[in-house]
């Protein structure tokens, strides 16, 4: 924000010391009417100054949206009402907030003195059973806004009867309903709730239900609001479907990547020495990482990409230029600071601070005497924030000179400030290095490293870049959400004319990968900007946004990609496509992302010389079809339940001689396969064959070759495939050839 000569000033009572040499503290905006040069603001307390801005209103579903609820969602939403009824019977003073249907069931948020635990579930479920047995009709009542407020005041909403305390959250919900929208209740038995519906006809239609967990959530999702208990449950038409759901949950638990990762020795998370969210890849896990890299490198090479390598660090200027710093700073590790003038800086800082304090104290004192109130003086900058800088205080002191006599010590402090400030300002800035949270800025500098012609485009720079993101501690989750990550990253610089075909090629690459990994269900989420966010959440280029989004939409339509469009979720520099895939057991994962960037190349001043001899800014496509190794491998572990196809399997082949008379024969097979880059080992421990097979199966060794005297004599092997049992005895050469082919073709 640019400063002006005409500063405005505020006098805030009871404010602590300031520090003008660290970045100025900024306080939220306040409506003020001010006159110059100095004046008093009569703010009742300091706390009022700290009032936070109102959070953006969460998007509200329109009535039309609600009518689109599926039958299952209606049933679950109705189950939420029934659960609330049951809770209200057990704890009549419960205050309900909202209770929607969600992906796997429903929840209801409730404020209640009693802390609900899973031990309470049987009692709640028993009450629910009564409600369902009674088969109440879900009755819709249209009421006036006044009526609704009156009932809420009487505590009647989200309740079985009127209560002494008002239904406070329902009052809050009412306030969010736009003028003109009809207000309705749903009544089932004694329970009346403020609700837009829709519901099933009768409580008896809720076939099968079960409470699952209890968690906490803020009212309306805002951490400044009261914290509520969120009781989760799920419901289905019938018991069979409910049982299937829980079976699937069990299966997901069995396939949990953390569990299988530990069993197979793929990775460890060493929070104590390495840090939370920073996986160490063990040898078996590294196999997965490197096989994926190999796949991506081959695929990208064939598609005309070139590979680059960049360091893990970059100077502050990089991220200031890219614009990541203001938008993204919270997600980056704090910078490493190199300061060659550290001693001088500290010395000057301390002397300036002392001088400033002295001046500030005097000015505050004068103001206090004038106003009769204790407090401190501030300048109000153009954006309404309050600041208190040294130069400002010295200037304020000058303003007082006409009417007040300044003590010599204060004058001396002001002089010292005037003398040292320029010195301080002329110190070279502190050199700050950031761990990179993304690779694009480095790649932009590679683009900038040489003059570029339109003949060089499209330029596709690919890198397995390691990035570091400071995810909040509560976000970390196994491999799925980490702080150090490896991205299958690339940036495609192209002209507008090339955009459509490049973007289509990227999509085709996704589809190719899906096929290799046997992903049958996928969806692309096309995230676009919102007008309101321009200049805040999004770079302020309204026309470019529309134009780019239109290009993307056209390609998606033309190539018949399965996608949905979501407004207001784009990246700050352009529209984004998140790729969602569903694992073999039907769980959804957001695996990759694909972004169009029309803003950052310009910030870096990237240009190419076009046919017409003009310099033009390229478009940039950010794409990472395999996302991060961490998340992708986490996903694959669940998808395959750890039973990777041969080409990916950390243990591809294990040869088991029946007795040590076959050791040489077995060793020969091992040598042959190892010579062909196959991950094979020989096992001859003290255990019986049965035991060794058991262990090989447990370790998920893909091919188990048993060789006894019979096989050795005929130059055969007895083949066993993990999870598929014995495959019979085959000629050694045939088995070796099959193994090599399956690996080469990346057979599923």
Residues near RNA (CB under 7 A) are 115, 213, 215-218, 221, 223, 227, 230, 258, 262, 269, 271-272, 276-277, 331, 469, 471-478, 480-483, 485, 571, 578, 590-593, 624, 627-628, 630-631, 658-660, 686-691, 693-695, 697-698, 704, 706, 708-711, 718, 720, 722-723, 725-726, 729
Nearer Cβ to RNA, position 414 or 438? Answer: 438
Nearer Cβ to RNA, position 388 or 722? Answer: 722
Nearer Cβ to RNA, position 417 or 644? Answer: 644
Write out the E strands in 413-452. Answer: 431-435
**Rounded-to-integer distance, Cα 436 and Cα 30, Å:** 37
Closest CA to 80 of 166, 254, 225, 206: 206
Q: Are 211 and 220 in contact (CB under 8 A)?
A: no
Q: Are 307 and 463 in contact (CB under 8 A)?
A: yes
Peptide bond into 37 cis (omega under 30): yes
> In DSSP terms, which residues pair with 209 in a beta bridge?
235
CB 703 → RNA: shortest distance, Å? 11
**Rounded-to-integer distance, Cα 34 and Cα 37, Å:** 9
Nearer Cβ to RNA, position 160 or 729? Answer: 729
Nearer Cβ to RNA, position 295 or 718? Answer: 718
Ramachandran assignment for 298, one of left (phi > 0), alpha (psi -120 to 50 degrees), beta (any other): alpha
CB 693 → RNA: shortest distance, Å? 4
Nearer Cβ to RNA, position 3 or 118? Answer: 118
Nearer Cβ to RNA, position 190 or 687? Answer: 687
**Rounded-to-integer distance, Cα 81 and Cα 617, Å:** 56
CB 539 → RNA: shortest distance, Å? 15
Q: Which two tokens stand for residue 421?
A: 């400030």
Nearer Cβ to RNA, position 67 or 694? Answer: 694
CB 675 → RNA: shortest distance, Å? 24
Task: Strand 139-143: give its sheet, edge to edge.
Answer: 139-143, 183-188, 191-194
For residue 398, give Cα distances in angstroms to 41, 165, 355, 401, 635.
21, 58, 15, 5, 66
Residues ≥6 apart with Cβ < 8 Å to 303: 460, 505, 509
DSSP assignment of 53-78: PPPPPPPPPPHHHHHT--HHHHHHHH
Q: Which two tokens stand for residue 570?
A: 């784009």
CB 526 → RNA: shortest distance, Å? 13
CB 133 → RNA: shortest distance, Å? 30
Nearer Cβ to RNA, position 457 or 704? Answer: 704
Q: Which two tokens stand for residue 194?
A: 């403020």
Write out the E strands in 544-604. Answer: 563-566, 576-582, 588-597
CB 101 → RNA: shortest distance, Å? 13
Residue with tokens 């190419």, as numbered in its chain: 608
Ramachandran assignment for 386, one of left (phi > 0), alpha (psi -120 to 50 degrees), beta (any other): beta
Nearer Cβ to RNA, position 20 or 528? Answer: 528
Q: Return the C-alpha torsion angle 207, 213, 219, 221, nearest 10.
A: -100
**Rounded-to-integer distance, Cα 718 and Cα 716, Å:** 7
CB 251 → RNA: shortest distance, Å? 15
CB 500 → RNA: shortest distance, Å? 23
Task: Strand 725-731: give its sheet, edge to edge.
Answer: 680-682, 653-657, 703-707, 716-721, 725-731
Q: SS3 of 271, please?
A: coil
Q: Which two tokens stand for residue 298?
A: 């081959």
CB 648 → RNA: shortest distance, Å? 18
Nearer Cβ to RNA, position 378 or 644? Answer: 644
CB 222 → RNA: shortest distance, Å? 8
Nearer Cβ to RNA, position 426 or 686? Answer: 686
Nearer Cβ to RNA, position 160 or 585? Answer: 585
CB 514 → RNA: shortest distance, Å? 15
Q: SS3 of 704, please?
A: strand
φ/ψ of residue 508, rounded to 5: -60, -35
CB 225 → RNA: shortest distance, Å? 9
CB 328 → RNA: shortest distance, Å? 9
Q: SS3 of 39, please?
A: coil
Nearer Cβ to RNA, position 381 or 716? Answer: 716
**Rounded-to-integer distance, Cα 723 and Cα 641, Å:** 11
Q: Which helix (H) or strand (E) holds 277?
A: none
């Amino acid at each position: 924000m640019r400063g002006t000569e005409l500063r405005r000033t505020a006098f805030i009572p009871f404010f602590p010391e300031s520090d003008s040499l660290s970045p100025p503290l900024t306080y939220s905006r306040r409506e003020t009417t001010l006159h110059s040069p100095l004046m008093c603001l009569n703010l009742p307390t300091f706390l009022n100054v700290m009032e936070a801005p109102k959070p953006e209103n969460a998007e509200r579903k329109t009535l039309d949206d609600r009518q689109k609820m599926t039958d299952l969602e209606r049933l679950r939403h109705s189950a939420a009402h029934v659960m609330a009824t049951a809770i209200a019977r057990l704890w009549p003073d419960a205050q309900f907030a909202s209770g929607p249907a969600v992906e796997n069931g429903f929840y209801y948020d409730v404020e209640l003195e009693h802390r609900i635990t899973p031990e309470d579930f049987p009692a709640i479920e028993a009450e629910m059973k009564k409600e369902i047995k009674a088969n109440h009709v879900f009755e819709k009542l249209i009421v006036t806004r006044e009526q609704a407020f009156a009932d809420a005041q009487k505590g009647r909403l989200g309740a079985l009867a009127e209560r002494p305390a008002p239904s406070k959250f329902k009052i809050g919900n009412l306030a969010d309903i736009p003028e003109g929208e009809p207000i309705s209740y749903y009544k089932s038995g004694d329970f009346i709730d403020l609700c837009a519906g829709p519901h099933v006809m009768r409580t008896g239609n809720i076939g099968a239900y079960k409470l699952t967990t209890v968690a906490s959530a803020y009212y309306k999702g805002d951490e400044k609001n009261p914290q509520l208990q969120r009781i989760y449950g799920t419901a289905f038409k019938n018991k069979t479907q409910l049982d299937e759901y829980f079976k699937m949950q069990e299966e997901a638990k069995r396939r949990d990547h953390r569990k299988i990762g530990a069993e197979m020795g793929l990775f460890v998370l060493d929070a104590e020495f390495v840090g939370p969210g920073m996986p160490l890849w063990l040898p078996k896990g590294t196999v997965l990482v490197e096989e994926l890299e190999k796949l991506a490198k081959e695929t990208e090479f064939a598609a005309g990409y070139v590979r680059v390598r960049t360091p893990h660090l970059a100077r502050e200027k990089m991220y200031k230029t890219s614009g990541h710093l203001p938008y993204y700073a919270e997600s980056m590790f704090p910078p490493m600071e190199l300061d060659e003038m550290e001693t001088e800086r500290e010395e000057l800082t301390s002397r300036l601070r002392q001088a400033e304090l002295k001046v500030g104290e005097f000015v505050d004192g004068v103001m206090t005497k004038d106003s009769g109130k204790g407090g401190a003086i501030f300048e109000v900058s153009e954006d309404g924030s309050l600041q208190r800088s040294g130069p400002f205080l010295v200037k304020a002191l000058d303003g007082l000179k006409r009417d007040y006599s300044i003590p010599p010590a204060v004058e001396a402090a002001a002089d010292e400030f005037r003398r040292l400030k320029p010195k301080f300002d002329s110190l070279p800035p502190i050199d700050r290095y950031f761990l990179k949270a993304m690779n694009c800025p480095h790649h932009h500098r590679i683009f900038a490293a040489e003059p570029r012609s339109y003949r060089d485009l499209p330029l596709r720079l690919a890198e397995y870049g390691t990035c570091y993101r400071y995810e909040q501690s509560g976000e970390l989750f196994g491999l799925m959400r980490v702080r150090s990550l490896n991205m299958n990253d690339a940036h495609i610089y192209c002209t507008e004319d090339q955009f459509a075909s490049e973007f289509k090629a990227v999509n085709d690459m996704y589809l190719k990968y899906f096929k290799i990994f046997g992903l049958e269900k996928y969806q692309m989420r096309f995230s676009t900007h919102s007008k309101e966010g321009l200049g805040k959440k999004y770079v302020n280029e309204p026309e470019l946004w529309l134009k780019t989004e239109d290009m993307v939409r056209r390609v998606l339509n033309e190539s018949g990609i399965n996608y949905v469009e979501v407004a207001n979720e784009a990246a700050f520099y352009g529209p984004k496509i998140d790729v969602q895939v569903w694992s073999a057991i039907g769980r959804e994962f957001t695996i990759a992302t694909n972004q169009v960037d029309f803003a950052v190349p310009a910030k870096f001043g990237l240009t190419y010389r076009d046919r017409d001899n003009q310099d033009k800014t390229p478009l940039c496509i950010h794409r990472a079809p395999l996302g991060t190794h961490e998340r992708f491998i986490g996903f694959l572990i669940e998808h395959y339940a750890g039973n990777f196809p041969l080409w990916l399997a950390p243990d591809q082949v294990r040869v088991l001689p029946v007795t040590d008379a076959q050791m040489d024969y077995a060793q020969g097979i091992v040598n042959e396969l190892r010579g062909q880059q196959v991950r094979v080992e020989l096992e001859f421990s003290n255990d019986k064959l049965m035991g060794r097979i058991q262990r090989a199966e447990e370790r998920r060794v893909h091919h188990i070759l048993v060789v006894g005297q019979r096989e050795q004599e005929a130059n055969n092997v007895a083949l066993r495939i993990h999870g598929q049992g014995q495959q019979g005895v085959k000629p050694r050469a045939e088995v070796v050839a099959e193994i090599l082919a399956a690996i080469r073709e990346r057979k599923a």
